[in-house]
Structure 1
Amino acid sequence: MHQLWPPVSRLLASALREGTGYSEFFLAVARAYAGGRGLSSSIHHLIKLLERLQPTPELSLRSALLYVEKLGAGGYAPVVVDCLGLPELYWLYAKLREAQPRALAVYAYVNETGRTSGFLEEVRKASMLQVATTLGGQKVSSLDRILHEVMSKPAQLEELARKAHTHFGAYVEELARLLPTRAFIVSDHGYDFAREGDLWYLEHGREPNILSKLAPLVVVEKHYIY
C-alpha cells in the first residue's frame, strides 16, 4: 500500500460518515485550495500531498494497468472512464457503499500531466478505447465531455455546483447502479477548479494541475440480487 491510498480512502470514508452530499463535497473541494475548515481542510491536506509527491513505480499508471489486467483476468468487468474528478469519485464511492457491497476498495495513482495523452503515453496505448478493448471492457467518455462542454464555462460557484449536480452527480449515480456484480472503474485523470475573478470553472492538465493528477481505481463486488 503506497502513501496516497490511505489518505484518499480516509477522506472518502470520513465524508460519507458525516452524511456529505454530492454538492456539499463539490463545494468543499473548490474551497480546499485556500485551506478552509472541516472537510475542506481534509481535502487541502490531500492537495498538499499531491503537490509534494515524488513519482514512484507504485504510483505510476503503468503499475495501475498491470493491476487492472490482473483484475480483468480474475473476472472483474472493466469500465474505463475518461475523467473522474474527486467529487465524482466520492459520489461513486457513496452510492456503491449505500448498496452495501460485499467488497469495495479505492486506489489512487498519479498522472503527472493531468491529461489523457499523458495517461496513454505511460500505459503505451493509442487511445482510451484501446485501453478498454485491451481489458475487455467498455469506455465511458461522457464525464470528460461534460467537463469541456458545460463545466469549463465560468460561472458563480453555486451555479457551477448546481450544474455539476445535474450533470456529473446524476451520471455517476447511474454508473454505480448499472455496474456489473464484480467490476472495476479506472480513470486517466481528474480535474481542478480555476477562477476568473469571482467566476469559477473546471479544467484539467493546466495550472494548478493538482487534483487533475489523481487517477483513481475503484474495485467493487456487489451482493448478488435474486
Structure 2
Amino acid sequence: MKGISLRATGVVAAGVLGLGALAAAAPALAGAGPFAAPAPASSAPGPGWGAGMGMGYGRGMGYGTGMGYGTGMGNGYGMSNGFCPGLGVTAQQGTLTTAQRATLASMAQEEKLAHDLYAAFAARSDAGLFGHIAMSENHHLSAVRTLLQRYGVTDPTAGQAAGRFTDPAVQATYDRLLAQGSASPAAARTAGQQVERDDIAKLKDALTGLTAPDVEQVYTALLAASERHLDVFSR
C-alpha cells in the first residue's frame, strides 16, 4: 500500500504545474479552520517528494516553466517554477452577463469546496497527495477571487471558515463528500474524483458563450488542472 501511495504521489506534478502562465498572486484563502492545508515549505524550485527521474505523459515541456508534464525530468513533485508558487490573471478584462457573473461567484464556492475537502483528507490520510492538490485549489481560488474583484462581484467565500459555505447546496455537497471520503484513503480518492468531474462539467459549461479574455483564461487553466487532478485520483 505504501508503494502505491508513493507512485500516486509521484504523478501529482501533472496536477500542480498546470497554471504556470499566471503570475500575480491574489488574496489568500479565508479562514484556516481545523483542516487547513499544509503550508508549502518553499516556493523556490527544487526537488519534491518523490525520487527518481520520471517520464511524463506527452512530449514537450508542458504547461509550466518547469520540466513538467512532458518528457521532462519529474523528480517527485517536480522541479518547477510553474503553478505552485502563485498565480494571477494576465489577460485583459472583458464584459460579463448577469448569468456569467453569478457563475463566477459559484466558481469561488466550488474551488473552496475542493480546497477544504482535500485539506481535511490530508489531515487524515495520504497527506502528500491531498496536501499538494489542496494547495493547487488554494491557487485556483485566488485566481477566481482576482476576477471577482475585477468585475465587482461579491465573494461568497469571504470570511467563511474551512468547511463552511453560504450556498446550502454546496454545504450539503461538502458534508456528503467529507463523510464519504472519511471512510478510507480509497474512498477519499473516489470523493476527489467526483469533485473533479463536477468541476470539469461546470467549467466546460461556463466557457460556452464566454467572451471575457481574462475569465476565459482562468477557466481554461482551471479546466486543464481539474483534468490532471482527476487523472491523479484515478490512479
Report the TM-score when normalising by structure 1: 0.31
Report the TM-score when normalising by structure 2: 0.30
Higher relative contact order (CA 8 A, sep 6+): 1
Relative to its length, the structure with more strand (as a share) is 1
